[in-house]
Chain A
Amino acid sequence: MTSLLQRRETQLFLILLLMLVFIGIRAPVFFSAQSMDTLLTDLAILAMVASVQMLAIMTRGIDLSVAANIALTGMVTAMLSSEFPAMPVWQTVMTALGLGLMLGTVNAVLIANVGIPPIVVTLGTMSIYRGMVFVVSDGNWVNAHELAEQYLGFPIDRFLTLTNIVWISVVLLALLHLFLSRHRHGRELYGLGGNPEAAKYVGINEKQKLYIVYCLTGMVSGLCGYLWVARYAVAYTEVALGFELSTVAACVIGGVSMAGGIGTVLGTVLGSAFLVLIFNALPVINVSPFWQMAISGSVILIAVILNSINDRPQMKVILKKAQLATAKGAA
């Protein structure tokens, strides 16, 4: 059992606090209640998509199609809303979840049944989904005044002072956490990611697990597609362009191992919070746009280095112990 301080979650939390203090000194206005509220709302979508991205990375895969899925689902729900303004929100949400699930299932079939590596499959579907946004919309934008009031209103309406979008993410992340830590299927995902060979021998159904992972990433991305478009009140082909990389970055910063088997919802949420804090704070404390990119990149690199350092000693200790044990045994 690693001590509390050695855990990525604690480290990240402390770094986040430090950053908040530093930003607070440079720009006290950043601490206003409204500012924090904006930050949380901004965090919600990234945290949700990053958490399902974590499932893919944890099982030694990746889902690069999440952002394109967001764009496509967002566009379809937006077009439906402009065509049928009376459509209630629950129907929009169901459409988003359903379409997202469909797109995710395509990935799942190709990965689990056909056996193509996830990075190749999702690289392909990323382009296909992005292209389909163009095909379904004919390249046209869906704009604020064409979208129904309830469509735009729901994500930023408030319930107990926070926006609905924040509550949705809280519920979803809590469920995901419980699933991963308490449910058999969730635990088996760690097993599959940690050692696929061994997982096969203990009877973990790999195909079924991959279906769970990629259907979930699809479904959650679909939901976020609606939330994204409603939040920014515009749907166009390039919505969320490059967002898949932010989700991967959030995972890496949150301590999810690219080698599989390691990752927590809490870590990923903190990783997402880190990125969102940087994205939101750098403009406020007068950092040039070029430095913003460089800083985000450096943070990701540092996180990867930390990950590999954190992983390394454990391996050595085990080997040394094993060596010692065999040496003793021989003596």
Chain B
Amino acid sequence: MWIKKTAAALMLAAGAMTVQAAESTDSIRIAMLVKSLGNGFFEAARDGGEEAAKELGNVDLIYTGPTTATSEGQIDVINSLISQKVDAIVVSANDPDALVPIAKKAMRRGIPVLSFDSGISKDGRVFHINPSNAELIGYKQIAMISETLGGKGEIAVLSATAQATNQNIWINEMKKTLKKPEFSGLKLVDVVYGDDQSDKSYREAVGLFRKHPNLKGIIAPTTVGITAAAKAVADQGLVGKVYVSGLGLPSEMAGHVKSGAVDTFAIWNPIDLGYTAVYAAHEIVAKKSKGEPGDRVRIGRMGSLKIDGKGETAMAEPFVFNKVNVDNFAKIF
């Protein structure tokens, strides 16, 4: 038993993914490669992917990823997926450029690569599925905190790593949104980075309280950051003085909404996102769409995606949670 567990753990640690070999030859094997294993968001995306696989009938979903969120780990996994000869790969990239060469290699071998959530640069994928529109995500987060604060006060952003592609795009959109007249009462005083580690994010949040005594709101567009910031607000006795908002999963945020540190937060539905990514990959493999700019890809219950000139497409706008609905959704993801 011990040895079995150990061996299983070692395999996971090495990021090796050899299970789920071909069961039947005519089924389509789609690999979902995520930023790192053990992340609630991607577990929910996997559930959506499995839903799509079941609906399509002939799809086997391979859910995989490195144990830590690095592009090196993802490159290793893609290599092993290529040698397993999967039919398609959908990936949420840890780095937009580092994965391009290996993704190109996969496509040369006839394995279409789609990116979702966090994109690969244009050359390394057929198209990219944004969970939502960066503009909408940026707007929504500012709108949420603005509503909580009654439209005025100092705010700060607590992000993940300073190089994270999606984070930086959203922060840019937030800055653009803040220039609109309806948000003129909000002042962005700082952007800090917690590296998606709970201890560092917590320290950065506490640092924000010290640096900006008039701080009224923290926007954390990342799940580790938003929980750490909410805990810091509660620990420092700032509930009701500083509000945390941003992007998080309902199951992770329910407790902090109850404590009062968080008023509203948003997330696109990761189940829908996983569903969309796997469904889209199937459409490409089944040659129902080429996925070129201007094409429309049919996505089962989600309607259809229109691919824009940059080879990107958006799924839907983020969904807002508050103390009324968070408990119900916390049971799902």
Contacting pair B162 A131 (CB below 8 A): no
A63 CB-CB contact with B under 8 Å: no
Q: How far is the CA of A234 from the CA of B256 in the complex (A)?
A: 11
CB of B207 within 8 A of CB of A131, answer no
Does chain A have a CB within 8 A of B80? no
B252 and A234: CB pair below 8 A? yes
Judged by a CB distance under 8 angstroms, whether A307 is at the interface is no
Contact check, B211 vs A240: say whether CB atoms are below 8 A apart.
Answer: no
- Which chain A residues numbered 197 to 233 have a C-beta less than 8 Å away from chain B? 228, 232-233
Check B254 against A145 for contact (C-beta < 8 Å): yes
If A143-B251, A143-B255 touch, whether A238 touches B203 (CB-CB below 8 Å) is: no
Contact in complex: B67, A35 (CB < 8 Å) = no
A133 at interface by CB-CB < 8 Å = yes
Residues of chain B within 8 A (CB-CB) of A131 are: 8-13, 67
Contact with A along B249-262 (1 / 0, CB 8 A): 00111111011000
A43 to chain B, nearest CB (A): 12
> Does B231 reach chain A (CB closer than 8 Å)?
yes
Contact among B43, B195, B213, B251 with A139 in the assembled complex (CB-CB below 8 Å): B43
CA–CA, A248 and B116, complex, Å: 38
Q: Does A59 contact B (CB under 8 A)?
A: no
Q: What are the nearest 7 A-B pairs in CB distance?
A: A131-B9, A144-B255, A237-B38, A145-B255, A283-B207, A127-B13, A139-B38
- Additional A-B contact list (9), CB under 8 Å, known A38-B236, A144-B230: A42-B199, A131-B10, A143-B255, A228-B199, A234-B252, A238-B68, A238-B69, A238-B196, A283-B208
Bound CA–CA A153/B296 (angstroms): 53
The residue that A237 contacts in the complex, of B10, B37, B208, with Cβ under 8 A, is: B37
B204: Cβ under 8 A from any A Cβ: yes
Instruction: Give how many B residues have a beta carbon under 8 Å from the other chain's beta carbons.
Output: 52
A-B contact count (CB 8 A): 136
- B180 interface residue (CB < 8 Å to A): no
Tell me if A134 and B9 are in contact (CB < 8 A). Answer: yes
Contact assessment for B199 and A240 in the assembled complex, using a CB-CB cutoff below 8 Å: yes
Q: Is the CB of A145 within 8 A of B330?
A: yes
Q: Whose C-beta in chain A lies nearest to the C-beta of B8?
A: A135
A residues 104-120 in Cβ contact with B at 8 Å: none
Judge if A290 is at the interface, Cβ distance under 8 Å.
yes
CB contact between A239 and one of B10, B198, B251 (< 8 Å): that residue:
B198
Kindly identify, within residues 3 to 23 of chain B, every residue whose CB is under 8 Å from any CB belonging to chain A: 5-6, 8-14
Q: Please give the number of chain A residues whose Cβ is less than 8 angstroms from any Cβ of chain B in the complex.
A: 46
Task: Pick the residue among A27, A129, A140, A240 that contacts B43 (CB under 8 A).
Answer: A140
Chain A contact residues, CB within 8 Å of chain B: 27, 29-30, 32, 34-35, 38, 42, 127-135, 137, 139-141, 143-147, 156, 228, 232-234, 236-243, 279-280, 283-284, 286, 289-290
CB distance from B210 to the nearest CB of A (A): 5
B197 at the binding interface (Cβ < 8 Å): yes
Contact A27 B8 (CB under 8 A): no
Cα–Cα, bound, A201→B227 (Å): 55
B40 touches A141 (CB 8 A): yes
Q: Within 8 Å of chain A (Cβ to Cβ): is B146?
A: no
A234 and B210 in contact, given A132-B5, A144-B256, A290-B162 (Cβ under 8 angstroms): no
Q: Point out the residues of chain A lying under 8 angstroms from B203, CB to CB.
A: 42, 279-280, 283
The residue that A38 contacts in the complex, of B10, B193, B206, B253, with Cβ under 8 A, is B206
Contact status B36-A238, CB under 8 Å: yes
Instruction: Check A143–B38 contact: CB distance below 8 A.
Output: no
Which single member of A32, A135, A289 contacts B193 (CB below 8 Å)? A289
Could you tell me the distance in whole angstroms from the C-beta of A289 to the nearest C-beta in chain B? 5
Is B228 an interface residue when CB atoms closer than 8 A count as contact?
yes
Nearest A residue (CB) for B191 = A289
Closest approach, in angstroms, between the C-beta of B16 and any C-beta of chain A?
11
B39 located at the interface, meaning its Cβ lies under 8 Å from any Cβ of chain A in the complex: yes
Neighbouring A residues of B11 by C-beta, 8 Å: 131
Is there an interface contact between B39 and A233, defined as CB atoms closer than 8 Å?
A: no
Is the C-beta of B192 less than 8 angstroms from some C-beta in chain A? yes
25 residue pairs bridging A and B, Cβ less than 8 Å apart: A30-B210, A35-B210, A42-B199, A127-B13, A128-B9, A130-B67, A131-B9, A131-B12, A131-B13, A132-B5, A132-B6, A139-B38, A139-B39, A139-B40, A139-B43, A143-B253, A145-B258, A232-B228, A233-B231, A234-B227, A236-B224, A280-B206, A283-B204, A284-B210, A289-B195
Query: Would you call B37 and A232 a contact (CB within 8 A)?
Result: no
Q: Are A127 and B14 in contact (CB under 8 A)?
A: yes
Answer whether A283 and B192 are a contact pair too, CB < 8 Å, given A29-B213, A144-B255: yes
Give complex CA distance A141, B37 in Å. 11
Interface presence of B26 (CB below 8 A): no
Cα of A233 to Cα of B230 in the assembled complex, Å? 10
| Nearest A residue to B254, CB-CB | A145
User: Known contacts A144-B231, A238-B36: does B6 contact A128 (CB below 8 Å)?
Assistant: yes
Contact A127 B252 (CB under 8 A): no
Q: How far is the CA of A115 from the CA of B105 in the complex (A)?
A: 44
